[in-house]
Amino acid sequence: MFKIINYEDIDQNRLDENYVLIDVRSPHEYTLETIPGSVNIPIFDDKERELIGTIYKQESIEKAKKIGIATAAKNLSSIYDRVSELDKEYNNLIFFCARGGFRSSSLVSLFKTLGINATKLDCGYKGYRKYVNDHLPTVVENIKFIVLYGNTGTGKTNILKSLGSQGLDTLDLEGCANHRGSILGSVGLGEQNSQKMFESLVYESLKNRKTNFVFVEGESKRIGKDIIPNYLYNAINNGINVKIEANIETRVNNLLKEYVHDTDNELITSLHNLRKYLGDSNIDKYIKLIGEHDYKPVIEELIIKYYDPLYEHRNRVYEAVFYNDNELQTTNKIIEWAKNHKYDKSQ
């Protein structure tokens, strides 16, 4: 009989041992969403999992099991090599699959007999998701957010990262989503995180905070395809509002650094989505300029004609306004302001 552990024991730091979470689901399942920080050692690859699943549903459970056993046996040598390497580094290897069923149970049983300290996560990834769904709203209840607002390009995201690097608690919603939230928000970032992964990363960020004051960037309710849960969105909207301002030159340079790095094709594809807002003639002009690697006029016009009009109608009351022409200096000013208002990290 092998050991089974609940995710709550992990989350509440009830494990004294150095451990690693091992996701034995297929690479596609792992890429789509997993427990943050876990390692993927799949018992089946994507094609094998699809085949076994099809047989399970369309033919017979018994046949699917037989094929699953044969396929797993074929993969065991490479799986063992990776597991044994992790066993040298960690005291406890915690395996999970979708529901804590065949895939994780079979591997934990095997490795336990081989002298590896293997443990199964109860109810697998499904159990972990239930835990996050149950606990994230409660975590948010205890937090007062300090919310950075400002027009596109004022440097809010970099200031947020700078605040985090200096020890203040932050929540990077765009980082959790792997998307910047605008029509051009995915440029240069690759695939956006799924809703489940987004929420998992939000939970990881907030559960590890040192205080109940958390800096966050103001966002729309939807960040790309991910949606901020109502309880979190409302808590942010009821936060302490701070505005970041910058001149047009600084904003253009910030966006140039952020968006332009061998991303011409992505920029052009995204610009097509703005035709209904800015007209064909403007978009055709921008595409031509990008083809000539003349980015600054495009960025400046997008700021003036598209992004600023979107932002200016929002009517908010700000407790402080910071002019940003140097991110480190602005960060230090915000920290000093936070200390004076007792929003500092010692609270």
Note the pLDDT of residue 301.
96
pLDDT (mean) for 100-112? 88
Using an 8 Å Cβ cutoff, are 170 and 216 in contact?
yes
The continuous run of DSSP H or E covering 241 comes out as strand 240-245
Note the pLDDT of residue 344.
59
Query: Where in the chain are the domains?
Result: 3-131, 142-340
Q: How many other C-beta atoms can be found within 10 angstroms of the C-beta atom of residue 196?
A: 17
Tens-digit pLDDT profile for residues 272-296:
999 999 999 999 999 999 999 999 9
Tens-digit pLDDT profile for residues 132-172:
999 999 999 999 999 999 999 999 999 999 999 999 999 99
Dig out the tokens for 188 from the structure: 């240069």
Q: What is the sign of the dihedral through the CA atoms of 163, 167, 170 and 176?
A: positive
Q: Do domains 3-131 and 142-340 have the same CATH topology?
A: no
What Rg, from alpha-carbon coordinates, does the chain have?
A: 24
pLDDT (mean) for 63-81? 86
Note the pLDDT of residue 50.
87
Q: Is the pLDDT of residue 345 over 60?
A: no
Using an 8 Å Cβ cutoff, are 23 and 40 in contact?
yes
In a 3-state reduction of DSSP, which class is residue 295?
coil
Domain 142-340 has CATH 3.40.50: yes
User: 3-131: which CATH number, 3.40.250.10, 3.40.50.720, 3.40.50.620, 3.40.50.300?
Assistant: 3.40.250.10
Note the pLDDT of residue 69.
83
